[in-house]
Amino acid sequence: NLGMYQVEYFSPIINPPESGILAVGAITKKPIVNKDAKIAIKPIIKLGLALDHRVSDGVIGAKFLQYLRDILQAPDKLI
């Protein structure tokens, strides 16, 4: 987690015996187009994931990132 140092994005490096590692960047405010096609300033966080493909393939990693995105966008889904 380098977000606490205001690093927006970085590439994590897997250290043995890890099979994956998640990079968590800083939360920044960015202009985005919302559902109403209007520009709004929203908090954005960039995540990166490195996986050992001997243990897990990229599809599982992509599904994990999608799940994590969904939870971060709507944390009430955890209840």
How many residues comprise the chain? 79
Average pLDDT of the chain to the nearest whole number: 93
Q: Of the listed 38, 53, 54, 77, which one is catalytic?
A: 53
Q: Facing residues of 2 across strands?
A: none
Rounded CA-CA distance 64/73 in Å is 14
Strand 39-51 vs strand 20-33: parallel, antiparallel, or unpaired?
Answer: antiparallel
pLDDT digits (tens, 9 = 90+) for 4-40: 889 999 999 999 999 999 999 999 999 999 889 999 9
pLDDT at 28: 96
For the chain, how many structural domains are there in total? Answer: 1
Residue 14, domain extent: 3-78
pLDDT at 78: 84
pLDDT confidence bin for 45, thresholds 50/70/90: very high
**Contact indicator for 49, 12 with CB cutoff of 8 Å:** yes
- Is 3's pLDDT higher than 90? no
- Could you tell me where the DSSP H helices lie in 1-79? 58-73
| pTM given for the model | 0.80
Rounded CA-CA distance 76/16 in Å is 35
Query: Could you confirm whether 53 is annotated as catalytic?
Result: yes
